[in-house]
């Protein structure tokens, strides 16, 4: 068993990247969101948002649905496993934060 600081190195980087954490956190608060809304609330460019969504989709975290012919619309939602992963990730961050905050060196 390591220190909470060493345990932080095992955090899921797919979800923990700041941009992807912003995306998944926003999606965890709703059933789905369209691309333009995610772009607006995260402040990401179209290219960056697309890139991060592609990584999250490849990892099974999000589902991307493209609809409409005349006016294309991209709707993004967390998959069921993705919703669990994001919740567990936040719980782990909170736990690690508390452990780090109260940690004392055995040498003290």
Tell me: the pLDDT tens digits for 39-64? 999 999 999 999 999 999 999 999 99
Residue 106's pLDDT band, with cuts at 50, 70 and 90, is confident
Task: Identify whether 22 is part of a domain.
Answer: yes
In a domain, 41, yes or no: yes
Distances from the Cα of 52 to the Cα of 6, 11, 12, 74, 76, angstroms: 27, 18, 15, 14, 12
Q: Which domain holds residue 68?
A: 4-99
What confidence tens digit (pLDDT) does each residue in 84-93 have? Answer: 999 999 999 9
What pLDDT, on the 0 to 100 scale, is given for residue 1? Answer: 53
105 or 97: which leads in pLDDT: 97
CATH code of residue 90: 1.10.10.10
User: Bridge partners of 63?
Assistant: 77
- This prediction has a pTM of 0.88
Q: How many domains does the chain have?
A: 1
Q: Which of 33, 100, 71 is nearest to 24 (CA)?
A: 33
Residue 107 lies in a domain: no
Assess if residue 79 is contained within a domain.
yes
Q: Which band of pLDDT confidence, cut at 50, 70 and 90, is reported for residue 108?
A: low
- Taking residue 47's Cβ as centre, other Cβ atoms within 10 Å add up to 8
The pair of structure tokens assigned to 95 is 């736990």
């Amino acid at each position: 068993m390591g220190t909470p600081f060493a345990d932080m190195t095992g955090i899921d980087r797919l979800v923990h990247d700041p941009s992807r954490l912003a995306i998944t956190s926003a999606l965890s608060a709703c059933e789905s969101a369209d691309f333009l809304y995610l772009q607006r609330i995260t402040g990401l460019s179209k290219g960056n948002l697309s890139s991060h969504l592609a990584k999250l989709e490849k990892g099974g975290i999000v589902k991307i649905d493209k609809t409409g012919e005349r006016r294309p619309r991209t709707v993004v939602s967390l998959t069921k496993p993705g919703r669990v992963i994001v919740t567990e990730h936040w719980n782990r961050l909170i736990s690690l934060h508390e452990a780090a905050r109260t940690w004392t060196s055995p040498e003290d």
